[in-house]
Amino acid sequence: MTTKQDAGQAVLDAKTRLGLTWAQLAEALDAPLAWTTSALLGQHPIGKSRAEKAAQILELGPAEVAAFEAQPTRGALDDVVPTDPTIYRFYEVLQVYGPTIKELIHEKFGDGIMSAINFKIDVDRREDPGGERVVVTLDGKYLKYQWG
């Protein structure tokens, strides 16, 4: 049985071997870039036609197609606190700015949350005189605490 993790590893290997980018894969699947990346890494189920399309481009087989379609058990971090510096910085942002985000959501919206389900994320590059910048946009539906 090929798990979604196995399939994600196969995607990384094939992508390197074939010299493909996530942007090319997203375009081929006609899907948003970050969704494509996370789905191929195993965090979302992929519809049949896109799963087959992805397997074709990446020269993978039916086992990977089945894994792409499967419902994931989500959660991609090896450790509760991530050790990889590129990922850790986002945990650090949460340590430093978590209560700030909470205060501002409450001030601008009321008692509620940003949905992580009805949600999209983007990673962009912005040129700046002080050097290029990584801009990550988290965009989720506001969900108000509401009893029933």
Known catalytic residues? 89, 92, 115
Q: Does 79 bind a copy of itself (CB under 8 A)?
A: yes
Cβ pair 27, 51 in contact under 8 A: no
Q: Does 112 bind a copy of itself (CB under 8 A)?
A: yes
Q: Does 71 bind a copy of itself (CB under 8 A)?
A: yes
Cβ-proximal residues to 135 (8 Å cutoff; 6+ apart), any chain: 122, 123, 124, 125, 126
Shortest approach of a copy of itself to residue 56 CB, angstroms? 21
How many residues sit close enough to a copy of itself to count as binding (CB under 8 A)? Answer: 96
Cβ pair 11, 37 in contact under 8 A: no
Give the contact letters, 29-68, x = binds to a copy of itself (CB under 8 A), - = no.
---xxxx-xx--x-xxx--------------------x--
